[in-house]
Amino acid sequence: MTRFVVSRLAQMLVVLFAVSVLTFLIFNVIPAGDPAARMAGKSPTPTQVEAIRAEWGFDEPLPVQYVKTMEQVLGGSAISYFTQLNVREEIVKGLPRTLSLAVGAAILWMTMGIALGLLGALRAGRISDRLITFVALAGVSLPVFWLGALMAYYLGFKAGWFPNGGYVPFTEDPLDWAYHLVLPCTALAILFIGFYSRVLRSSVLDTMSEDFVRTARAKGLSERQVLVRHVLRNSLIPIVTLWGLDFGAVVAGGAILTETVFDLQGVGQYAAESVGQLDVPPVLAVTLFGAFFIVVLNTVVDIVYAALDPRIRVTT
Amino acid sequence: MGQSPWRLALRRLRRDRVSLAFGALFVVLVLGALAAPLWASAVADRDPDRTNETGQIEVDGSKVDVVSLDGVPIGPQWRGEYFLGADSNGRDVMVRLLYGARNSLLIGLAAAFLTTLLATLVGLVAGYFGRWVDALARSTLDVIWAFPVILLGVALGTALAVGGLKIGPLELGAGSMTISVLVIAIVYVPYMARPIRGEVLALREREFVEAARAQGAGPLRMMAGELLPNLTSTIVVFAPLMVANAILLEAALSFLGVGVVPPDPSWGNMIDAGVERLVTAPHLAIAPGLMLVLTVLALNVFGDGVRDAFDPRSSAAWGTRRP
């Protein structure tokens, strides 16, 4: 087990390094033109551009530039050239908001996805199954920024049932915190509900034809016990794996559209607003933060899996 | 008499009326986009960029401002000119919707095609050669995979929106639509290359590959002649879903301001402009949004039918959707 953990952590470091190199390339090498001018955003002054060139070392060889860029971003000294605010502080400020959204949405999409997927599998081929399939496909087809904007306007602003945006910290008023999160979490969860219910449906159908399910039936378990104890337990494995990836992606900037539409001021919205001003340091920092977060989370999921299932340790 | 898997699959697909209907809907939408100039010249008599902030049109016998004095554009008229109303510059929303469809569909189709091409190539080469080639390809895909799709799209879009693109002889100006195509295509490559590589690995162990190798087939003939034909059903299953994903990502990037640059219309940037005016002119956001949902839904339902027909037990293609 120790060997597995060590090799997995070593792999993680390699991927993290590659991710940072790729991010560096995206922002500094691939685009044409003067990188200092690009870093400075939409309408920089010449002195600003000169200062950036010296600060990020754009006149030096590429490896030196890479090191300087990483120092700026990871060391927390990068500042937005548009708002002059420290990038790391802004990300730390946005993180609890993004986490609230991601946790709320994840609870919603897991419960609904599992319920609909199970129902679809049990009624496979019948009208209700086809209906669930269609609803799931519709959910996957809805662009979250459009759906969210309409929800915020019609259910929030016009009907007044929910706040049409904004965020209240949990420590200030837990009830109001939850109330503000209802619409954004629902909007974000709809895509995943469609997707997870489909995956669970086919996974349940696969498990049902396994030998151990027949054995469970043969030894006289009730249909309900077979379903909960044997079928569902095994069918949940792919869902849990996906959940690790998706939750990571949502926290790491995948909720950029939902946050923007509902004005949650999370990490994603911070990136989105910086994009609008073509302000590179914040986008660079959020991209790096997001990718790092996903890589670390995936490693943790892998290690937990290996602890639970010894077979994995041998094969990888 | 045995039938080839292709014929069986096509027969299954032909029986699936719902999927075929949605496939036809997508074709109709494409035809509508192609007919955009026809609508613009023959029906609406307005071109997509012509503004009309001070003009008036006749409604029920009286003259009405196209854009009122406090900046509220006129709503849907349901006839020739301003069929779906005007936007805040007095441009015809229906005409812009059809021209936007051209951009959105073109970018979506081109990006999905490029993704398929790259993913097949990477999957084939990595799976066939194995060893360090495979290791290199796999780790590259893993690194791209580590980024959330939308964030990687935004990062690439932002970097290229300022400077344009320059790799060797290839040079693209900032704001070129080819940039959107490249960004979207690259972001989705791992999602398709991984399953294709897996399939190649499985195929490599089969007897017919062994037989071809014994006949002295070189790598090229092996990949193009023996392996590729066996990958077609996987590619066919992925294709409609990749187009749907690409169209959605294009809309999201344009919504965030790093896709199609106004005044060129695309559904994404039309929704972006419309969302700010939901209070006074909801048609500006609803019309392009509905078009987008309809297109993506058509592709997803059709794609689901194709998957059922070709590969009933697989849910692999569902893994292609990540935020």
Residue B166: pLDDT over 80:
no
Determine the distance from the C-alpha atom of residue B275 to the mean position of all C-alpha atoms in its chain, rounded to a whole number: 22
* Partner B contacted by A285 (CB < 8 A): no
The answer to whether residue B188 is domain-embedded is: yes
The answer to whether residue B259 is domain-embedded is: yes
The bridge status of strand B165-167 relative to strand B62-65 is unpaired
* Partner B contacted by A11 (CB < 8 A): no
The answer to whether residue B82 is domain-embedded is: no
DSSP annotation of B104 reads H
The per-residue b/e assignment along B22-34, b for 16 or more CB within 10 angstroms, e otherwise, is: bbebbeebbebbe
The per-residue b/e assignment along A40-70, b for 16 or more CB within 10 angstroms, e otherwise, is: bbeebeeebbeebbeebbbeeeeeebbeebb
User: Which of A116, A178, A191 has the alpha carbon at shortest distance from A146?
Assistant: A191
| Residue numbers of B between 160 and 189 with CB closer than 8 Å to A | 160-167, 171
Q: Is the dihedral angle over the CA atoms A62, A68, A73, A74 positive or is it negative?
A: positive
Number of other residues whose CB lies within 10 A of the CB of residue B219 = 11
Pseudo-torsion of CA B149, B155, B156, B159, nearest 10°? 170
Cα–Cα dist A307/A126, whole Å? 40
Q: What is the ipTM of this complex?
A: 0.86
The answer to whether residue B29 is domain-embedded is: yes
What residue ranges in chain A does DSSP mark as E strands? none
Whether residue A256 and residue B315 make contact (CB cut-off 8 A), yes or no, is: no
Non-local CB neighbours of A125 within 8 Å, separated by 6+ positions: none
Three-state secondary-structure class, residue B57: strand
The number of folded domains in chain B is: 1
User: Which of B147, B145, B248 has the alpha carbon at shortest distance from B194?
Assistant: B145
Cα–Cα dist A53/A209, whole Å? 64
Residues of B within 8 A of A124 (CB-CB) are none
Query: pLDDT digits over B176-194, tens only?
Result: 788 889 889 988 998 888 8
Whether residue A143 and residue B251 make contact (CB cut-off 8 A), yes or no, is: yes
Cα–Cα dist B292/B297, whole Å? 8
B148 is in which domain, residue-wise?
A: 5-37+98-318
The answer to whether residue B68 is domain-embedded is: no
pLDDT of residue A126: 84
The answer to whether residue B221 is domain-embedded is: yes
Whether residue A32 and residue B164 make contact (CB cut-off 8 A), yes or no, is: yes
Residue A304: pLDDT over 50:
yes
Cα–Cα dist A247/B102, whole Å? 34
Whether residue A30 and residue B164 make contact (CB cut-off 8 A), yes or no, is: no
Nearest to A198 among B146, B163, B315 (CB): B315
Question: Using N-to-C axis directions, what is the helix angle for A144-151 and A174-208, rounded to 10°?
Answer: 140
Chain B, nearest residue to A153 by Cα: B278
Nearest to A138 among B157, B297, B322 (CB): B297
Query: pLDDT digits over A199-213, tens only?
Result: 888 888 888 888 888
> Residue B140, class by beta-carbon neighbours within 10 Å (0-12 exposed, 13-18 middle, 19+ buried)?
middle
Nearest to A257 among B163, B252, B278 (CB): B252
The answer to whether residue B102 is domain-embedded is: yes
Q: What is the pLDDT confidence band of residue A316, given thresholds at 50, 70 and 90?
A: very low
Q: Check which CATH number belongs to the domain holding B126 and give it.
A: 1.10.3720.10
* Partner B contacted by A260 (CB < 8 A): yes
The reported pTM is 0.88
Rounded to the nearest integer, the mean pLDDT of chain B is 83
> Are B314 and B248 a contacting pair, CB within 8 Å?
no
| Residue numbers of B between 120 and 149 with CB closer than 8 Å to A | 139, 142-144, 146-149
The answer to whether residue B157 is domain-embedded is: yes
Query: pLDDT digits over B252-277, tens only?
Result: 999 988 888 888 889 998 998 888 88
